[in-house]
């Protein structure tokens, strides 16, 4: 193998490792973020039992926050941020969407995080966070488990 190919392959490997480390750091940061709101003692609304880190809903919440933060940093409108985030989660976490108890658990966690956000009272976080959480809860509540949103009254 010519030296340039070896260098190129090492460079690719190094970039892949850096990307993997960055993604892992983002996941840890997102996990700690939503867990801090979820485990707060400020309220007892929504789901109160702690779930394990390897539970499908825990992974769903990690990716929910990662996707929200990435899309928020892109300065997109909030409704677009939420819809793109949930669309991505639908692809990557179909087991949560298609399992009523998992969806209820995710909704309970989002309610608890939203309530804690309201109680903390930071205006900027409050407004944007409440909007994102509320839209997400409504969509999860109206998902019919078969691939569509049922909004009949």
Q: What pLDDT, in 10s, does the model give residues 9-55? A: 777 777 777 777 777 777 777 777 777 666 666 565 655 667 888 89
Q: Using alpha carbons only, what angle is made at residue 13 by residues 58 and 74, rounded to the nearest 5 degrees?
A: 50
Q: Are 46 and 109 in contact (CB under 8 A)?
A: yes
List, in order, residues 6 or more apart from 99 with CB less than 8 Å away.
Answer: 56
As a whole number of angstroms, the distance between CA 49 and CA 34 comes to 14
Q: What is the pLDDT of residues 49-105, one digit of tens each?
A: 678 888 999 899 888 888 877 766 666 777 788 888 888 889 999 999 999 999 999
As a whole number of angstroms, the distance between CA 62 and CA 53 comes to 10
pLDDT at 153: 44
For 149, phi then psi, to 5°, come to -100, 125
Q: Are 112 and 129 in contact (CB under 8 A)?
A: no
């Amino acid at each position: 193998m010519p030296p340039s190919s070896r260098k190129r392959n090492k460079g690719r490997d190094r970039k892949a490792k850096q990307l993997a480390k960055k993604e892992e750091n983002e996941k840890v940061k997102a996990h700690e973020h939503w867990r801090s709101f979820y485990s707060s003692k400020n309220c007892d609304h929504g789901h109160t039992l702690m779930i394990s880190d390897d539970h499908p809903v825990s992974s769903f919440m990690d990716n929910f926050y990662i996707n929200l933060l990435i899309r928020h940093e892109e300065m997109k409108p909030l409704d677009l941020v939420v819809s793109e985030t949930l669309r991505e989660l639908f692809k990557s976490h179909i087991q949560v969407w298609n399992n009523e108890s998992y969806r209820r658990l995710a909704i309970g966690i989002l309610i608890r995080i939203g309530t804690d956000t309201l109680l903390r009272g930071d205006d900027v976080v409050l407004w944007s966070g409440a909007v994102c959480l509320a839209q997400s809860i409504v969509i999860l509540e109206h998902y019919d488990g078969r691939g569509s949103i049922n909004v009949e009254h």
